[in-house]
A and B are shown apart, each in its own frame.
Chain A
Amino acid sequence: MKSGTWRISGRETSSLPLFNTEVMGVAARRTRGRRFWSNLVNGPAARYLFILPTILFILIFLGYPLVQSIYISFTDASLLRPDVNHVGLKNYAQLLSDRLFWLSLRHSFQLTFTAVALQAILGLGLAVLLNQKVPGIQIFRNIALVTWVIPIAATVVLFSFAATPEYGLFNVLLKQIGLGDLQRYWFGNRDTAMWMIILMHVWRNAPFYALALLAAMQAIPQTLYEAAQVDGANAWTRFWVITFPYIRYTLGVMIVLHVIFTFNNFEFVFLSTGGGPVRATEVLPTYIFEQSWQYYRLGYAAAIGVAMMLILLTITLISVRLMERARRS
C-alpha cells in the first residue's frame, strides 16, 4: 500500500485521511493516553487486533495439540513412564499389522458410508416432502430440526430405552405385530448393534440435510417449473432436470460435512455400546480412546489419530475436487 493512500473496504483511496488524528475529533486530541487508545482502535493495527483472540485460541487449543500429536506419534510416549524415546515410524509400522486397527477402520468406513448414504437419501426425500405446498407444512418445517438440537447423550438414552427387552418401544412394537421372537436388546447383539448406531446418526442428522436442501430448493426460480410444465415434463423429470442440478452442490457440502462428523464422532458409539459387544462396533475414535485412556499408549494413539486425519483429508480433498468439477460442467 502506498503511503498517503488508505485501503477502506477493499478500495484504495487518498481522499479519506481517517486515521489522521486531526480529523478524528476533539476528544482524541485531549490527552496523550486518549490518543494512544484512539490510534489503537482506529489505526491499521486494530484490524488485526480483533482477530488476535481467535488466532491465539486456535493456535493454543488446536494448533499446538495437532503439532504435538504428530510429534508424539513418532515416539513411544506413555502416561506410565516419564521418559520419551523417538521410535521413528515404529508406531505406524505396528498400525499396519494391528488387527484391531483394521477392524476399527472397517467399522468406521461401514458406519460412515451407510449412515451418510441413508441420511442423504432420506434427507432428500424429506426435503421434497417439506417443499410441498399443503396447509400446515410450516409446522413440520419448524419442528424437523428437533432431533438435531437435543444432546447426543440424550439421544443415546432415547434409543437405549427403545431397544430395551420386554418394555422398550422397538420390542413392544415387534410383539404387537406378532414378531415377538425377534425381541432382544438391540445394542447388545453383534448383528444389530452397528445398525442401531447407524440409526441414531440418521435420526439425528437427516433433518439437517432436509432443511439445507429445502433452502436450496426454495431458491430455484418458479418460472423454470412453469416452463417445464408447459413442455409436458412430469414431476419425476422436473425433479431430475431442474431441482437436482440446483441442489447438487448443497447436497455435496452436506455429505462432506457429515462424512467428517460421522467418521470423527466418538460420543454415539462410546455412550451406547462402548465399542462392544465383542468389538462389533469398535470404531477408530473409541479405539484411540482405549489406547490412550486404558493403556496410556499416547504415541500409538496419536499415530492412529494422524492416520485418521490423513484418511479424512484425502476423502475431503477428492470430494471437493469432484464437486468443483461438477459445478464447472
Chain B
Amino acid sequence: MTMRKIGYYSAVYILLILSFAFLLVPIIWVFLASLTEPRQITSGSLWPGLRSLTLDSYRRTLGSADVRIHLRNSFVIASMTTIATLLIATLAAYSTSRFARISGASITVVVLSQMFPYVLLMIPFYQLALQFNALDSYASIVFTHVVVALPFSFWMLKSYFDNVPRDLDEAALIDGCNYISLLYRVILPCAAPGLVVVAFFAFVSSWGEYMFASILSQSKQTATITVLLQGYISGRRIEWGLVSASTILSIAPTVILFALTQRWLVAGLMSGAVKE
C-alpha cells in the first residue's frame, strides 16, 4: 500500500468518525445517563465509571404504570395508523398508477398538503373530535396521524407500483384476474418492499407525533409516549434518570424497526422523496 493510499484511508476514516460522533454522541450520552445511578448523572463527569452503572432507572420507569400505559397507547395508535395508512394508500396508489389519469393532480395535492401549516389543523381537528364525541379516543388520534402520513405514503407507494411492468397486468387480466385479485396476486407481491417502507414510515411518524396527540388526548388513557416526554421535560425539577430511561424507551422501537427494514428503507424513501 502506498503512502498516498494510507493518507486517503485515514482521512476518510477520521472524517467519518467525526461526523458520526456528531450524530451518535447525543444519543449515546442519554443512553449512558439512563444506565447511571441518578445521583451520578449530575456529577458532571464524562464517564460515570463502571461501578455506578445500574438498571435502576429502567426498573423505576417500567415499574411505573404511567410509562407502561403511555407506551401501550403509542403502540396501539401507531399500529392502527400503519394498517389504515397501508390500506388507504395502497388502493389510491393502485388506482392512480393503473387507471385513474390524475397523476398530475395527485402530485399537486401531495405537495399542497405538505405546505399547509399543520398547526392550523389543530383547532379544526379538535372541534371535529368534539362534535363526534371522540376526544380522548384512539380513533381520533389515529385519524389525524393517517392524515399526516397519507400524502407521502401514497406517493412512495405509487412510485413502487409504477415500476411493476404493465405486461404483468395484461397477462393477469387475460388469465382471469379481476381488479382486486390483480392487486393482491400480482402487484402487491412485486411491490412488497414498498409496503415495508410505507409501513415503517407510517409507524414511525405516528409513534413520534406530538402535536395532535397532545390536544386530542385528554387523559393518560390515550396519551402517547411523546406527550409523556413533554410532561417530563417541562417540569421545574427534571429527574434525569427517569427522563433518560423513558427517552431511550421511546427511541428503541423506532431504531429496532429501522434496523429490521434497513435493507429496503433507504432506496424506498429516496424514490418517494426524489421522484419527480
Contact = CB atoms under 8 A, between A and B. Distances in A.
A53 B174 CA distance: 28
Interface in A38-78: 38, 41-42, 46-51, 53-54, 57-58, 61-62, 64-66, 68-69
A150 B119 contact: no
Interface string B3-41: 000000100110110011011111101100100000001
B273 A146 contact: no
Interface string B65-85: 000000000000000000000
B43 interface: yes
- Chain B binding site: helix, strand, loop or mixed by DSSP? helix
B199 interface: no
Given A62-B116, A66-B116, A51 B258 contact: no
Nearest to B144: A61
B218 to A, nearest CB: 14
Contacts of A48: 95, 99-100
B55 interface: no
A284 interface: yes
Contact of A151 (B27, B121, B232, B250): B250
A105 interface: no
Interface string A148-177: 011111101111111000110101110110
A8 B98 CA distance: 9
Contacts of A301: 120, 123
Interface string B181-213: 000000000000000000000001001111100
A284 B244 CA distance: 30
Nearest to A58: B109
B50 interface: no
Interface string A303-315: 0010011001100
A175 B117 contact: no
A25 interface: yes
Contact of A8 (B100, B144, B173, B269): B173
Contacts of B109: 58
Given A157-B243, A215-B274, A142 B262 contact: yes
Nearest to A23: B176
Nearest to A122: B19
B169 interface: yes
B27 A50 contact: no
A255 to B, nearest CB: 12
A146 B258 contact: yes
A308 B117 CA distance: 7
A51 B44 CA distance: 57
Contacts of B60: none
A146 B124 contact: no
B137 interface: no
A253 interface: yes
A275 interface: no
A146 B247 contact: no
A257 B273 contact: yes
A132 interface: yes
B46 interface: yes
Interface in B207-258: 207-211, 225-226, 229-230, 232-233, 240, 243-244, 247, 250-251, 254-255, 257-258
B156 interface: no
A124 to B, nearest CB: 12
A289 interface: yes
Contacts of B244: 157, 161
Interface in A212-230: 212, 215-216
Interface of B: 9, 12-13, 15-16, 19-20, 22-27, 29-30, 33, 41-46, 87-89, 91-92, 94-96, 98-100, 102, 109, 111, 113-125, 143-144, 146-147, 150-151, 154, 166, 169-170, 173-174, 176, 178-180, 204, 207-211, 225-226, 229-230, 232-233, 240, 243-244, 247, 250-251, 254-255, 257-258, 262, 265-267, 269-270, 273-274
12 contacts: A16-B174, A46-B179, A65-B121, A140-B16, A147-B27, A149-B254, A150-B208, A154-B247, A157-B247, A166-B44, A264-B119, A288-B117
Interface of A: 8-10, 16, 18, 24-25, 38, 41-42, 46-51, 53-54, 57-58, 61-62, 64-66, 68-69, 122, 125-126, 129, 132, 134, 137, 140-147, 149-154, 156-162, 166-167, 169, 171-173, 175-176, 203, 207-208, 211-212, 215-216, 250, 253-254, 257, 260-261, 264, 266-267, 270-271, 284-286, 288-289, 292-293, 298, 301-302, 305, 308-309, 312-313, 316
Given A62-B116, A162-B29, 4 more contacts: A51-B102, A143-B20, A147-B27, A167-B44
The 3 A-B pairs at the shortest CB distance, nearest first, are namely A151-B208, A47-B99, A54-B92
